[in-house]
Amino acid sequence: MTRQEIFDTLKDIIGSALERTDNMKDVSERSDLRTDVGLNSVGLLYIVISIEERLHVSFDDVSFNDFQTVSDVIDYIERHQG
C-alpha cells in the first residue's frame, strides 16, 4: 500500500471508531492522536487492533505511548506491512 492509501484507511478506521461522517477532513498526518483527533488510551488500542484486523500488520510490541501523531502510525505500518 502507498502512504496515501494507508492514510486514507487510517482515517476511515478512526472515523468509524469516532462515528464521524465528515471523512476526517480536518485530520492530517501531523495531527496529534490525543489532542487533535481526540483518542484516549483505550481509543488508541481500539484503533490499533482495528488496523491489525484490516491491514494484517502486527502491533504486538508497541504501547499506546509509542504513537504521538497520525504520521507515527503510518510510519509503523509502512515499516511492517508485508
Partner 1 sequence: MNKGETDGFVIKSKGKNKRKRISFFFYDFVKITGFLPAFIFIRYKKLFVSKEAEAHHRGPLLVISNHSTYIDPVIIMKALFYRRVIFMATKDLFRTKLSAWFFRHVHCIEVDKGNVGVGTVKDVLERLKEGRAVMIFPEGGVNESSDDSNLQAFKDGASLMALKSGASVLPVYINKEKKVVVIGEKIDVMSFLSDGKKSGLRAIRDFSELLYAKESELKSYSENY
Q: How far is the CB of 71 from partner 1 (least distance, A)?
A: 19
Q: Residue 23 interacts with partner 1 (CB under 8 A)?
A: no
Burial class (CB within 10 angstroms; exposed 0-12, middle 13-18, buried 19+) of 60: exposed
**Cα gap 54→48, rounded to integer Å:** 10
Task: Name the nearest CA neighbour of 37 among 62, 61, 7.
Answer: 7
Which of 21, 22, 30, 42 touches partner 1 (CB under 8 A)?
42
Q: Residue 18 interacts with partner 1 (CB under 8 A)?
A: yes
Which residues contact partner 1 by CB under 8 A?
Answer: 16-19, 40-43, 45-46, 48-49, 52-54, 58-65
